[in-house]
Structure 1
Amino acid sequence: MRVISGKFGGRTLKGVPSHLTRPTTDKVKESLFNMIGPYFHQQKFLDLFAGSGNVGIEAVSRGCSHATLIDRQYRAYKTILANVKLTRDPKAFTVYKMSASAALHKLSQQDQKFDLVYLDPPYRLQKMVKDLGTLSKLNLLNHHALVICETDTNVKLSDNVENYRLLKQRKYGITLITIYQYVGD
């Protein structure tokens, strides 16, 4: 697993030493960033199920000003911290060891707002539409923010989610990337 492009490009990242995480492959990650970017200017990025921190580190490498990386597993948390250290830019990241639900409420209390959100929970725990609703309800998104959902191809996400517009859907093997744009107030 490596950082593909940008200021950290070429750096090798550590994977989480556990069977409980499923890293986003470099192929899917590169395709994802080609769909939404490929480069950014000062956006704020949120990954609620960060695993190794791979996708958030790529986002900062490509120009996001800050990434907030959340994972509830201790091994994932430690791996994220180690990978952030490899960037030599720790101020560009905030890392929390907590559940996605607890993190959303904490970020709301801090009046945080994000431009890009990545949702890639364990496939057996898919609750994307609920997470989309919580992001909107807690006012965590800037207008026109993008929410990227990574699922397996068996998950059917709605074309019609309140406060969101479906922008794109692409299939990569057993992986499906769905991108919504926030259109709520």
Structure 2
Amino acid sequence: MHITTGSLKGKVLLTPTRGIRPTAERVRQALMNSLGPKLQGARFLDLFCGTGSVGIEAISQGAGFVCFVEKAEKNYILLKQNLSNLGVEKNLYKTIKTNIFTMKPEQLEGTFDIIFADPFYEDIKDGFETIYHLVWQVLNPGGIFVCEHGTKDNLSQFPGYQETKSYGDSQLSFFVRQV
């Protein structure tokens, strides 16, 4: 897997051989294109980050700070290796190893301009309300929340919903927290 855009474009990321479904390169590129200039200097939260591909793309595109949250030990180790191997400055990120479904907003130490979540697709059905509730507590007014999910899920009933974009078996649903 490679970084697709920005200052780190072309750099290789370590990924596990099985056990996770990383966000596809074309989906990451489409996400970064959709966010465009909003990434510049933004505080970005990457929930269910896996090995960090989306958050690292955000740093590559000029995000001012990224908080990575992952619970799986093997993914967390690869996340830290990816950040180190790419030479990402430590003041640009924070990593947290925890379960999103039990975490408290205070663990994030602040609020964010853009939040991306890529839970296991089966977690959307029963867990999206929990994810949404956490996100809405730490998303700045005017901030953007993007959730990656499967094509069978419809998240349009949640406040702030804007649109859903499809990319094969994946969809990105966009929400904006009103000012």
In the superposition, the TM-score normalised over structure 1's length comes to 0.88
Compute the displacement of 1:18 (Å). 3.1
Provide the residue aligned with 1:4 in structure 2: 4
Letter in 2 for 1:91: N
Unaligned runs of 5+ in 2: none
Moved more, 174-183 or 96-105: 96-105
Provide the residue aligned with 1:99 in structure 2: 99
Provide the residue aligned with 1:29 in structure 2: 28
Counterpart check, 1:161 vs 2:162: no
Q: Alignment RMSD, CA only? A: 1.7
Q: Quick check: 2:115–2:135 contact (8 Å CA) kept in 1?
A: no
Q: Quick check: 1:107–1:140 contact (8 Å CA) kept in 2?
A: no
User: Following the alignment from structure 2 to structure 1, what is the Cα–Cα distance between the partners of residues 37 and 164?
Assistant: 16
Provide the residue aligned with 1:67 in structure 2: 66
Q: Quick check: 1:128–1:149 contact (8 Å CA) kept in 2?
A: no
Provide the residue aligned with 1:181 in structure 2: 176
Compute the displacement of 1:129 (Å). 3.2
User: Following the alignment from structure 2 to structure 1, what is the Cα–Cα distance between the partners of residues 175 and 118?
Assistant: 14
Compute the displacement of 1:72 (Å). 0.6
User: Following the alignment from structure 1 to structure 2, what is the Cα–Cα distance between the partners of residues 104 and 48?
Assistant: 13
User: Following the alignment from structure 1 to structure 2, what is the Cα–Cα distance between the partners of residues 66 and 80?
Assistant: 16
Provide the residue aligned with 1:143 in structure 2: 141
Compute the displacement of 1:104 (Å). 4.1
Q: Quick check: 1:147–1:180 contact (8 Å CA) kept in 2?
A: yes
User: Following the alignment from structure 1 to structure 2, what is the Cα–Cα distance between the partners of residues 106 and 72?
Assistant: 17
Q: How many residues align?
A: 176
Q: Percent of aligned pairs with the same residue? A: 24
Q: Quick check: 1:70–1:100 contact (8 Å CA) kept in 2?
A: yes
Letter in 2 for 1:135: V
Residues 1:106 and 1:35: Cα distance change in structure 2 (over 3 Å): same
